[in-house]
Structure 1
Amino acid sequence: MIKKLTLSFLALTLVFQVCGQELLSPSFTYSHKKTSYVTLKDGSEITGTLKDLDRKKGLIKQVKIEKEDGDKVKLKPEDIKSMYLPQSGLDKVSQAMDAATDAQKWNNEQMNQDLLDDGYVYFENADVYYKKKKKMELLMQLLNPHFSKEIKVYHDPMAKQSMGVGIGGVTLAGGLEKSYFIMTEGDEAAYKLKKKDYDDEYEVMWKGCDDLLNSEERAWRDLGKHVVEFSECQ
């Protein structure tokens, strides 16, 4: 009973925190029972259950799927165009809370909104300026799939987090990422934006949107709101 009450309290805390943030919390655990959906670069699609997600230093190196016919396939990031993975455990609770606050007005029609609304996590192949500004082709988790027409915000696999509310060693709320990868329409690749640099980058990022340039609410925690407001300016 106490555990249930604690989880309920943390879930409510998460709701209030997410309403201010608007970006989805990154997910790290996925269901091995529900169906995953993978689209390859050649246009073919694979549906099945996720068997394993191999990472190295936070980066996805291989995706293992058991197809509906029982065959097992191993995919490299460069083979995949996009994928939807179902969450499991506490990650699913977090994503469900986040999804309730998304700005539906700027939906990206190329994405499966039904899967997103059902709490699926969306990954896509993207060019990224990574270490030493080297352009790399990576499989990135999109944190604003419901309002990503103008600007995409990707999870930084190596990002550190601020302190958050947790239970059993798992952070449930309040853990703001200290960096993201940002991709503006027309950019060649996503670039890394750090919390400590946001004040200096603010006016360059939101150039052309007077509402944002004149706003006093420039906090890092409001990055999601800023993306939405910038979309309204376009």
Structure 2
Amino acid sequence: MKVKVVSLLLFMTGVMTFAQEDLKEREQQAAFDPAYTSYSRKKPAYVTLKDGTKIEGHIKDVDRKKGQIHRLKIIEDGKKKVEIQATDIADLYMAPSGLEQLDKQANFFNDATKWGKTDATKHLSKGYTMYTNQMVSLKNKKKPTEYLMQVVNPKYSQVIQVYSDPFAKQTASIGVGSLKLAGGIAKSYYVKKGEEIVWLTKSNLDEHFDRLFMDSEDFKSKYEGEKFKWSLLGVYILDYTEFALDAQMGEAK
């Protein structure tokens, strides 16, 4: 009898170990990009205006309000400096200062059948940071204003987009793979699903969780009965995105 109990305990320990390893790998896949406040003056930036005009040049200056970009000064090759308001920009790709090549995340990000390939692919694969124009109420309190906001989940932002909060408080310092997140995980982000963007914090996650995730039967089935954790926000969004894209592919067949 004791042998059977010991064997069962060993089996359960093995299952838990594999589950923990799977979750750890999943967390690495879903890790948000670090929030950057600096930019490279040596590498070109790529701007697309709302009217479709594309501009390539070197950033001369970035003006911010409340930590978010509201104006750029850029020098096009062979041309004079141009000042562009965030309200005129659709998206921006620029390299962080001291850009280092980060380890590539899971191969599924390169699966064109699931994630699709966009113009962003070539920039993101070189370590560039992605910004998009958003009308946002800062901290859910301020008058909605247009800013260029950094997308921190660019590789799986098809359904839910996550934007950095430059003034977010941090949890304890951690590392994900070879990427060290100085200061730890942010305690707040701006999260957009559909047309609604909210300031999502560790303390108000429960308030917004149902709207963000619980319209997916697959998601509910996977996490039924579990206590939701802020540290797994990226994993929840990645899972939800995969479920949504799989459903879309199924409907298209």
TM-score (norm 1): 0.78
> Which structure: larger Rg?
2
Contact 1:159 1:179 in 2 (8 A): yes
Q: Post-superposition shift, 1:162? A: 1.9
Counterpart pick for 1:228 among 238, 241, 244: 238
Residue 153 of structure 1 deviates from its aligned partner by: 0.6
Q: How does 1:70-85 map to 2 (within 5 A)?
A: 70-85=79-94
Give the counterpart of 1:126 among 131, 134, 140. 134
For 2:102, the equivalent position in structure 1 comes to 96
Given residue 105 of structure 2, which amino acid in structure 1 is its aligned partner? A
Q: Does 1:49 align with 2:49?
A: no
Shift of 1:228: 1.3
Unaligned runs of 5+ in 2: 1-23, 245-253
- With over 3 angstroms needed to count, the CA separation of the structure-2 counterparts of 1:210 and 1:133, relative to structure 1, is farther
Separation of aligned partners in 2, 1:150 and 1:84: 20
- From 194, 213, 221, the equivalent of 2:201 is 194
Summarize the Cα distance change of 1:17–1:175 in structure 2 as closer, same or farther, 3 Å threshold. farther
Identity of aligned residues (%): 34
Structure 2 CA distance, aligned partners of 1:55 and 1:138? 9
Q: Which residue of 2 aligns with 1:38?
A: 47
* CA deviation after TM superposition for structure 1 residue 79, in Å: 1.4
Q: Which of the pair has the greater relative contact order for Cα pairs under 8 Å at 6+ separation?
A: 1
Q: Given the alignment, which residue of 194, 200, 208 partners 2:215?
A: 208
Which consecutive residues of structure 1, in runs of 5 or more, have no partner in the other structure?
1-14
Offset at 1:172? Answer: 4.0
Aligned to 2:251: none
Contact 2:27 2:234 in 1 (8 A): no
TM-score by length of 2: 0.73
Higher mean displacement: 20-29 or 122-131: 20-29
For residue 22 of structure 1, give the secondary structure of its aligned residue in structure 2: coil
Output the CA distance in 2 between the equivalents of 1:44 and 1:119.
Answer: 23
Instruction: Give the SS at the match of 1:100.
Output: coil
Aligned to 1:193, the other structure's residue is in SS state strand
Q: How many residues align?
A: 210
The one-letter code of the counterpart of 2:238 is: V
Could you tell me how far apart the structure 1 residues matched to 2:80 and 2:198 are?
37
Q: After TM superposition, what 4+ stretches of structure 1 lie above 6 angstroms from structure 2?
A: 15-18
Secondary structure of the structure 2 residue equivalent to 1:196: coil
- 8 Å CA contact retained: 1:103, 1:147: no
